[in-house]
Amino acid sequence: MALPQTEAVATECSGIDTMPEVAVLARVLAGQKAAVAAVESAMVPIADAADMMADAMRNGGRLIYAAAGSSALMAIADGLELGGTFGIAPDRIRLLMAGGLPVDAAMPGHTEDNVSEAEQAAKHIRHGDVVIAVTASGSTPYPCTISDLAKKAGARTIGIANNAEAPLFATSDIAIHLPTPPEVIGGSTRLGAATAQKAALNMMSTLMGIKLGHVHDGMMVNLLADNAKLRKRAAGMVATIAGVDVARAQACLQASGGVVKTAVLLAVGVEGAENAEAMLDTAQGNLRAALTAHGFYE
C-alpha cells in the first residue's frame, strides 16, 4: 500500500547521510523551496479563508487555531503575532494545542490522539467563531475532533492539510490542500509540510489584515506600539502617510493616544481625535477610505 505523501521518503535523498555537508544542506533547502512552491496551488481557498477570517473579526467572532505538534507551532506563531501586527485584541484569538502550549522543550507525540482533551477544548467554541485546524496528515485526532465539534456548534471551519483527501476536509467549510512533496527526512513534517503551513497561515492572516483596513501601503497602521522600536515605527508611518515631519507625527500620536490611524487623520488636518475616530468608524476602520472622505486622495 502506498504511503501518504507526508510519510513518503524523497528518493533524491537516498544516501543523504553519506553526502558532504553542503550537499546535505542543498537537499534540505531544495525541499523547503518545493514546499513553498506547493502553496501556489491553494491560492483560491487561502483567499476565501482570509475573507472568512475578516468577516469573523468584523462581526464579533473569534479566530481559533487548533492543531498538534509542529503544525500547532506554526498555527501558534501566526495567532500570537496578530495583536502586535494588526492590533487584534487577545480575547479575539484562542490557541488550542494538543497537550497545551509548551513551556519547555518537551512536546510528547501521544497528546495528538487525545480526543477527550479536544472535546473539552471545543466546548468553548461558539457560533460566529472561525476555527483554523491544521494537520500535515489531515487525520490527526485532536484538530479533526475540534473541527467536527466546531462545525456542529455553528462555527465556520478552515482545514489545512498536506495530504489529498484528508479526513479533516470533510468538516472544513474551506479546505486548503498544500501538496508538499515527500520530506527530506521521511515523515518529519516539521520540515516541508510545516514550512508550507506557515506560508499559508501568513498569507491568510495578512490578507485578512488588509481586508480589515489594518494595512496601508504595506504599513501595519493598526499595530500595537508597546515598545520603543514600535513607537518609532508608528511615528515614521504617520510622517510618511500624512507627509509631515517626525515632530508633527509624534505630536499627533500623543494626541491620538498612540493610535496610528487617528494620528494620520490629525496630521492631515482633521480637527480633534474624536472627529478622526468618528471618520474611521464610518469607514469601518479603513484608513484609506477615511483619508479619501477627507479629500486627502483625489
Per-residue CA distances from 184 to 136, 193, 221, 257 (Å): 15, 11, 40, 50
Look at the block and give the residue holding cell 501538496.
179
Of the candidates 22, 34, 57, the residue with the CA atom closest to the CA atom of residue 222: 57
Helix, strand and coil content of the chain, in percent to the nearest 5, comes to 55, 10, 35
Torsion sign, CA atoms 28, 141, 179, 151: negative
Question: Helix H segments across 153-259?
Answer: 192-211, 228-242, 246-255
* Rounded (5°) CA angle 86-95-122: 130
Q: Is 298 a catalytic residue?
A: no
Q: Are 193 and 166 in contact (CB under 8 A)?
A: no
Of these residues, 112, 117, 183, 277, which one is catalytic? 112
Q: Is 274 a catalytic residue?
A: no
- E strand map for the chain: 63-67, 93-97, 130-135, 156-161, 174-177, 215-216, 219-220
Look at the block and give the residue holding cell 486627502.
296
Q: Which of the residues are catalytic? A: 81, 112
